[in-house]
Amino acid sequence: MNNIYAALEIGTTRTVLAIGEAETGGRLKVTCHAEIPSTGVRKSQILDINQASQSIRAVLHEIQKKQEETGSKITVGNAFLLVSGQHIKTDPSFGSAQVEGFKVGAAEINEVIRSSRQQIVLPRDRELLDIIDQDYVLDNLGGISQPKGMSGRLLKLNTLHIHADRNRISDARTAADAAHLEIREPLFATTCAAEAVLEEHEKKNGVLVLDIGGGSTGYAVYCDGYVVSADVIGVGGDHVTNDIAHAFSTTNAQAEELKIREGSAILSDISGEGARIKVPGSNPLLETRTISRRALDTVVNARLKELFTIIRETLERDDLFHRLHSGVVITGAGSRLNNIDQLIRHELGTDVRLGRPIHVDGFENEANAESFAAIAGALLYAHRNYEEKSFLDGIFGRFFK
């Protein structure tokens, strides 16, 4: 009997639902996934619960159709929720414990972990998404990954806790409830994406993960094997689309098509016929016109340079930029923009690669697998942290119903 899990992402541009099942040997495989355009969402936040609920119903219907085509009887009734947006914040904390007998044992480690959790006090309007254990400090010696057996007097554990606006998560729960889908647990999209795409050596050597969504861009910096910094910047692919629509007087749909089909993150030097791009009229009465390819690229480049400048300045301020020995890994739908890797390489001066899921099977044949990194990571989290007993259709009625 296999473990079965589901994850939901209500994004600015799309709503995604995926099902993962544990295979023999412990690997997780995504056996079914579907996506539809989001409605009622802007800048990673729900603005119309009814429209967002309709999007969830639609993606549930797509999943059901795919399940029926394969003869599966699983119906999703419960899912982990991916959370993104600028309302997400991170704060450092630590716990401490006196070392009995001056040698660290299991009791001291358990006590310092318990203490680190007790130190986290959030305002009523915030909801905890994750607690990340970083390094131990024994007396004045830091950077310890495993203190058991070491000698000292005072043991500390540094942690990073990630939290979000409780009301924004409540809105997502309300929209999902109206679609008869229960939200099991909210998860930070960027760290989920990172867990799905990063190699262990990258985490140890220092790496920056950029999860570029429609309404915002999340980032996480790993050094020495753990997250040392994470945040969300309120700039995403939708901002590029809006800039194009404004600059060239197009509809948002036309601007989105231009961005994906013709736009480039670096300035084009194409001459001749290819130097101009056709823009169809928004209705049959309007004639097709052309715009300069270089002008389009200038708009795309300007917004993305702004994003990467913010990231660079933030990491330099926090003294982390020089630690990115494994470079940058990009995920999310925004990572598909033409030549975005070249722009990052130029602006940040590091190696760049696309973050396709490597710790989860099922996306091998997906052309844009990097856009599913976060949802793959959410399923991986469920697989690693929850038991089989509450997830199977028609048996316990908790995760699936």
End-to-end distance of the chain based on CA atoms, in angstroms? 16
Do the bridges between strand 28-37 and strand 360-361 make them parallel or antiparallel, or are there none, so unpaired? parallel
Phi, psi (rounded to 5 degrees) for 255: -65, -40
pLDDT on residue 283:
63
Give pTM, 2 decimals. Answer: 0.91
The pLDDT of residue 356 is above 90: yes
Longest dimension (CA), the chain: 85
pLDDT on residue 284:
58
Burial class of residue 46 (count of CB atoms within 10 Å of its CB; 0-12, 13-18, 19+) = buried
In this predicted model, what pLDDT tens digit does every residue of 230-256 receive, in sequence order?
A: 999 999 999 999 999 999 999 999 999
SS3 of 257, please?
A: helix
Region 265-288: mean pLDDT is 75
Count the Cβ atoms, other than its own, within 10 Å of residue 331: 32
SS3 of 58, please?
A: helix
Q: Which of 27-41, 75-89, 322-336, 380-394 has the lowest average pLDDT?
A: 380-394
Region 165-176: mean pLDDT is 97
The pLDDT of residue 176 is above 60: yes
What is the percent of the chain with per-residue pLDDT over 70, rounded to a whole number?
93
pLDDT on residue 85:
94
Q: What is the CA radius of gyration of the chain?
A: 23
Contact, 83 vs 9, CB < 8 A? no
